[in-house]
Amino acid sequence: MPGKLKQIYRELTAKDPRKMNVDHPQRFALRAADSKQRRLKAIYRISDGSYKKERFAFATKEACLRNFVGVFNMPVADLKIIADNVGDETFAMVNRLHSNVVRTNFGNGADSWRHAAFDIALNEFNDEDAVYFVEDDYLHVPGAKQSLVEGISIADYVSLYDNSDKYINAADGGPNHFIEYGGEMTRVVRTPSTHWKVTNSTTMTFAVTVGTLREDREVWGKFTKGGHPRDFEAFLTLGESGRSVITPIPSISTHCEYEWAAPGIDWKTIADLFK
């Protein structure tokens, strides 16, 4: 990372996220879709020690993994699964569904993500590759892979999850303090298969090119210390430095927690496609 950019990041990461500026013009200056044939890699993290949340009963660890493997249909070498802190039953299930699996025992989301990003993606993949980091409680609609490839051609970071927290005013108790009048300041664009909007943050299920991840390593290093990644602060910091983050409208994936599930899609029907 160039020295000047490092200094900017250091200054930003010391700021209170509530006082960050989400108006950086470069966030909205999305690229024209390029013709680069980037190879898509994915690192899927599954654990028996996930945080306790009210999730869809049908969105089991196995159902979500079956869905991902079926929707993305990736070559074995391009999808690596990190089975972190899992029992023998879960490990056997993962190996039935996919053979490129590494078993670890980090025991928390931050360390397993750092292993995925810093030890695997930055060391094993090319800078031109796009890498999709995926958590074990997401579902994807068919066609998600093509949309993801299109998205990474126009933006720095791509999530396929249109989080419902982006539509709840902060004044009404919403968790994202930049939301007013039922939405956020954005720009909407179109790629061949999908409409996209610029967003201020997303979860730890997202795609980025390896080269961009390498440049932004200092930010991710800061906000993935401790037991749980601080994704909201990380993306606000990246956005204030000019990095773009986009999500599709309507959503193409969902986090399977009742409270924050992407609306408008029958997610049980999606899960059942890959039983």
Q: Is the pLDDT of residue 16 over 70?
A: no
**Cβ neighbours of residue 89 closer than 8 Å, sequence gap 6 or more:** none
Quote the percentage of the chain above a pLDDT of 90: 74
- Decide which of 177 and 151 is more confident: 151
The confidence score (pLDDT) of residue 5 equals 52
**pLDDT over 80 at 95, yes or no:** yes
Residue 49 is predicted with a pLDDT of: 75
Judged against a pLDDT cut of 70, whether residue 12 lies above it is answered with no
Confidence category of residue 31, pLDDT binned at 50, 70, 90: confident
Residue at token pair 């390029």? 34
Average pLDDT for residues 32-41, to the nearest whole number?
81
- Give the position of tokens 């927290």: 165
Fold designation for 3-272: Spore Coat Polysaccharide Biosynthesis Protein SpsA; Chain A (3.90.550)
Beta carbons within 10 angstroms of residue 239's beta carbon? 25
Max mean pLDDT among 23-27, 60-64, 175-179 falls in 60-64
Q: Is the pLDDT of residue 99 over 60?
A: yes
Q: 14 falls in which pLDDT band (50, 70, 90)?
A: low
Segments of the chain assigned E as strands: 40-47, 79-84, 101-104, 130-135, 138-140, 157-158, 188-191, 194-198, 206-209, 245-248, 253-255
Cα gap 250→237, rounded to integer Å:
26
Taking residues 30-57, report their average pLDDT.
85
What separation in angstroms does the CA of 238 have from each of 58, 133, 156, 234?
35, 17, 10, 6
Residue 145 main-chain phi, psi, to 5 deg: -60, -45
pLDDT top residue among 23 and 165? 165
Res 20: pLDDT: 66
Beta strand ranges found along 124-267 (DSSP E): 130-135, 138-140, 157-158, 188-191, 194-198, 206-209, 245-248, 253-255
Does residue 39 surpass a pLDDT of 90?
Answer: yes
pLDDT above 60 for 116? yes
Model confidence at 25: pLDDT above 60 = yes
User: What is the longest distance spanned by two Cα atoms in the chain?
Assistant: 51
For the chain, how are helix, strand and coil distributed in percent, rounded to 5?
Answer: 40, 20, 40
Mind giving me the DSSP string for 17-59? GGG-----HHHH-PPPPP---PPEEEEEEEESSPPP--B-TT-
Instruction: Evaluate if residue 79 carries a pLDDT over 80.
Output: yes
User: At residue 71, does pLDDT exceed 60?
Assistant: yes
Residue 17: pLDDT band by 50, 70, 90 thresholds? low
Phi-psi region of 141 (alpha: psi -120 to 50; beta: other; left: phi over 0): beta
Q: How would you classify the pairing of strands 130-135 and 188-191?
A: unpaired
Residue ranges covered by each domain of the chain: 3-272
Q: What is the mean pLDDT of the chain?
A: 90
pLDDT over 80 (residue 41): yes
Q: What is the mean pLDDT of residues 74-95?
A: 97
Task: Assess whether pLDDT exceeds 80 at residue 22.
Answer: no
Structure tokens at 156: 């720095």
